Amino acid sequence: MNENFVISKPVIGCIKIRNILVFISTFGIIISLSSCASKTNMYSLTPSFYNLVLYILIMFGASNHDVMCLNWSRLMLLFILILNIITFIFLPLAVASSVSSGVMDEPRIQKLVFGLDNQIYQKTRTILNDLSYKSGRENRFLAGFVVGLIAESLFLVIATAHYWLYNMVCRVLEYSKSIKEASAIDPQAV
């Protein structure tokens, strides 16, 4: 074996990325399980189940250096990143346009957008109605602009978090591959 071949553990600062992934996965599994338990229809259950499978794969792959699990979680995160980019491009524009045009003022549209959470629905409806009807068109435009900026900021934070997770999974995947290769060459090296 080549003496210059050194396997360096991926770290952020002084914390091992593997430990960060296990912590995030544990937290994600708990949230996904509680979310799956509270959902009633298939439309709202699918993302929660997808996240549950993703976090289980990340946890198992990171804790056992399983290349196949880490590769699948990398592909799932890549799919989520692509969806985040598409959502980031179109959804804030659609939300801002619907608020500024008055379409969002209809109770059935607000119920569809904000789901069945009655408390969020009532507060959002009150805020949008106050912003929309105080001073006419200018205020309606301002409300749409503010809601669009908030939606863009939210999706940017979500996409950044998913990219960060994707990057960490890729680094642990490369480390796991190097461990597998090193153990195939010299079992005593690992």
Q: Is residue 169 part of a domain?
A: yes
Confidence of residue 132 (pLDDT cuts 50, 70, 90): low
pLDDT score for 162 = 92
Domain assignment present for residue 129? The answer is yes
| Any domain includes 7 | no
Which of 6-18 are b and which e, b meaning 16 or more Cβ less than 10 Å from the residue's Cβ? eeeebeeeeebbb
Report phi then psi at 16, rounded to 5.
-70, 135
Classify residue 6: in a domain, yes or no. no
At 46-97, the pLDDT tens digits run 888 889 999 999 999 999 989 999 999 999 999 999 988 888 888 777 777 7
Residues 162-184: tens digit of each pLDDT: 999 999 999 999 999 888 887 77
Tell me what pLDDT residue 109 has. Answer: 61
In a domain, 112, yes or no: yes
Total domains, the chain: 1
- What's the pTM value of the predicted model, to 2 decimals? 0.75
User: What is the span of the domain harbouring residue 148?
Assistant: 65-185
Residue 41 lies in a domain: no
Quick check: is 55 in a domain? Answer: no
Q: How far, in Å, CA of 106 to CA of 150, rounded?
A: 20
Which 8-state DSSP code applies to residue 10? P
In-domain check, residue 176: yes
